[in-house]
Amino acid sequence: MPFIDTAEINSLSPIPGWFGRFIDGENMTVIYWTIEAGALPVHEHEHPQEEIWNVIEGEIEVTIAGVKQQAGPGCVALVPPGARHAVRPIGPARVIVIDHPRRESFGKPV
């Protein structure tokens, strides 16, 4: 299936206030996040995937390996594989996150 209408993908909420539409390619996962005002932060963690956070609307605070920065529309945060990182919403936001290689279970029913 080479074309996907993201509006037709069921939204999942693995974190209170975060609603994601997950798309798995053969080698990567793409998540379209809609984040509500007051959403919980994503705790500091690490994983073997490289991760890219692309802010479309709103603002989030991203901490990567102890370096903290606010990220607004047009900002891209690059998380290297194995780097400790956390994300805190500052208000409502929309972001696109890409993980490579693919994340097998995050946010999806097992």
Residue 65 lies in a domain: yes
3-state DSSP call for residue 106?
coil
Report the distance separating Cα 40 and Cα 89, nearest Å.
Answer: 7
Residue 13 lies in a domain: no
Residue 5 lies in a domain: no
For the chain, the distance separating the N- and C-terminal CA atoms, rounded to the nearest angstrom, is: 22
Q: What is the CATH number of the domain that holds 79?
A: 2.60.120.10
Q: Quick one: average pLDDT of 18-34? A: 96
Taking the model in full, what pTM does it have?
A: 0.93
Residue 110 lies in a domain: no
All residues at 6 or more sequence positions from 3 whose CB lies less than 8 Å from its CB, including other chains: none
Report which of 20, 9, 10 is spatially closest to residue 87, judged by C-alpha positions.
Answer: 20
Report the distance separating Cα 90 and Cα 16, nearest Å.
Answer: 15
Residue 58 lies in a domain: yes
**Domain tally, the chain:** 1
Quick: pLDDT tens for 88-104: 999 999 999 999 999 98
